[in-house]
Amino acid sequence: MSDTTVHSADATDATFEQHVIAASRLRPVVVDFWAPWCGPCRQLSPLLERVAARHVGEIDVVKVDVDANPQVARRYRIQGIPAVKAFRDGQVAAEFTGLQPEAVVANFFQALAPSAADRLAAQAAQAAPDQREAPLRQAVAEQADHPVAVVGLATLLADRGDTDEAARLLRRLPADPSARRLLAELHLREAAADDIDELRQKAAAGGEPRLRLGRSLAATGQSEEALEVLIAAVRDPNTRDDARIAVLELFALLGDDSDLVRAWRPRLASALF
């Protein structure tokens, strides 16, 4: 194992947002809260840098002098030093206080380091489009529910028409917004081939034609009319369940922040209850 060290960057009250919060959205950032007068801090800081050298390019280390930067110290309630906090995606993901043995520090960093699936997914993101499938499949083999790898592979498969395999992969992530959105898109693609004018004529009688019309409208981007038709289909006991699923799929495709979703979610609830 390498005995080299990396040198920590310094963050201040003015630069903490950039050097820590924003940076942690790209990779984990370990923040060493210290002060020049603190003896244990002077022992821990080089230890952090030495362990960080084993994770170059994967984890960054940033130092904050709590005396010179009281705003950050107050924000994160630093009461004793040395204090170490790891940030991921803008939030504190792990922390410890006080001088710790090297083995403890090494385990702290290892828990933050990317997994094999993370590395493969990152490799795929950097690869040429025709070279992405192999590392994505390896990542999914390492971790069957790795969100980035599953959605990435499913997107690749869907784009070339392998929609059945893409859908099977996406069902592994029922709570993931990106997976739900892509799965909804796949379901709606199947309805895009229907003749909307013909369905309009048949939909007046309700039933299955009305449900198919709603799906086709959604598939062709006519979302508001699609919701009107599908909510009517929800009120029909014969198409209630399938129509409810179609509405939820359209909501997933539009996203929770959509004005249409906010307007129509209460109407769906009213139609159901």
Distances (CA, A) of 126 to 23, 136, 145, 188: 19, 12, 21, 30
Q: 59 — alpha (psi -120 to 50), left (phi > 0) or beta? A: beta
Q: Choose, from 11, 38, 184, 226, the residue flagged as catalytic.
A: 38
- Residue 57 pairs in a beta bridge with none
Q: What is the dihedral of CA 26, 55, 12, 98, to 10 degrees?
A: 130
Task: Verify whether residue 38 is a known catalytic residue.
Answer: yes
Question: Which of these, 38, 37, 33, lies nearest to 83 by C-alpha position?
Answer: 33
Q: Choose, from 41, 170, 179, 261, the residue flagged as catalytic.
A: 41
Task: Verify whether residue 67 is a known catalytic residue.
Answer: no
Provide the annotated active-site residues. Answer: 38, 41
